Amino acid sequence: MDIIFIEELRAATWIGIYPREKAVAQTVEISLQIGVSTTSAGASDDIRDTVDYAVVVERLRADLAASHFNLLEKLTEHIATFLLENFAAQWVRVSVAKLGMMPGVKRVGVVIERSI
């Protein structure tokens, strides 16, 4: 299996359980590893034979902008399922972090791996 990755993607979504978090969308930082075979694309040199990074980013940002999650765990599961169902991934590793949530802490987050 090969891995296509997207690191430190910033996207806005509604995330949190506290009233201050529900009042405004927050930016989260997402890193993705998408397990797929790149053999066909390596032979053909054709974007149609692989995962198009731009399409992943565009569709994920649109999906998250219209969604609300209470917990990072739910958001991370949502992203993993989204990738597995929409991009023919066999395996994914998804990292999602909230930024600057606590004094003296740069980010807090969750990392999961899922496969079909």
From the list 1, 9, 2, the residue with the least C-alpha distance to 94 is 9
Strand 68-69 to 91-102 pairing: unpaired
Q: How far apart are CA 102 and CA 116, in angstroms?
A: 35
- CA 79 to CA 92: how far, in whole Å? 9
106 included as an active-site residue: no
Catalytic-role residue among 22, 74, 98, 106: 98
Point out the residues that are catalytic: 98
